[in-house]
Amino acid sequence: MLERLNRAMDLIEDNLAGDVDVRELARVAATSEYHFRRMFSALAGMPLSEYVRRRRLTVAAAEVLAQDRTLLDVAVRYGYGSGEAFARAFRAVHGVGPAEARRAGVALRSQQRLSFHLVVEGTGNMRYRVVEKDAFRLVGRKARVPLVHEGMNPEIVEFMRALDPDEVRRIEALSDQEPRGLVNVSDDLADSRAEGTELDYYHGVVTSAEVPDGLDALPVEAGTWAVFEHSGPFPETLQYLWRDVFTQWFPSNPYRSRPGPEMVQTRLSADGTHADAELWIPVVRTTSEQSG
């Protein structure tokens, strides 16, 4: 798997002055485009698109400094339709425009080329099970919120505080299957999973019941789910569990993620500092060729 990922990194480098075809990157890595984007983001700590942009402008900066081409020629070579568009992108990465960069002594920023190497990790155990579920509904209350990778999400905190306790109890009574009780659900996430991108956040239940008037509902197709259990400080234990699933569990097991809601059932300690969590991720089993 590492060899395939590094071949995909080579392919990015070969195409910085052209189009980087994500479908071809996924083919080289022997996975789907959807899973490649998510896996890259989890491993690299940034979206694939951001990495490509930074690498492209790092390489472009070298050509700007060499002064062998006009700034417009460099802009066109790296896919920008105008000098103004190139200057804006260049400034966003380097903090100065390309014309300023040609002045002696101006500091620029470099995005180092990524490569993946084996590090001995995974000495701990991840508790998981695989569950086949029929189609169901998520029923509850929904909000559109930004993605926050670490720490409390202020918009989710505000959303939860505003919920009517009596309505929440009525929603909880609709639960009739696993995961039983109230769950928190993330859906419609951007493939990049970049900090600040938006997602649909549900507080509700998994049910086959009809949807009462006034509640939000999300129909979910039948499929396979990987279910992970973990305990630790709240909210870090949930955020690190998500990270470890995508960076450690998926590369080690014959599954890949598939589109669908990601569900968490959390039992908090009385003081709200500790959580017992169960994370449900929609998955599909890979073929031996894909998982090799």
Question: Residue 35 to residues 97, 102, 128, 199, 287: CA-CA distances in angstroms?
Answer: 35, 40, 20, 18, 14
Cβ pair 279, 245 in contact under 8 A: yes
Q: Which of 101, 116, 143 is the last residue of a domain?
A: 101
Residues 113-124: pLDDT tens digits? 887 765 544 444
Average pLDDT in the 65-76 region? Answer: 88
> Is residue 97 helix, strand or coil?
coil
Same domain, 194 and 81: no
| 205 found inside a domain | yes
Of all residues in the chain, the percent with pLDDT exceeding 90 is: 41
> Which residue did the predictor score with more confidence, 45 or 32?
32
pLDDT at 216: 96
Average pLDDT in the 101-126 region? Answer: 66
Same domain, 174 and 131: yes
Q: Tell me the residue range of the domain where 64 lies.
A: 2-101
Same domain, 61 and 144: no
CATH number for the domain harbouring residue 11: 1.10.10.60
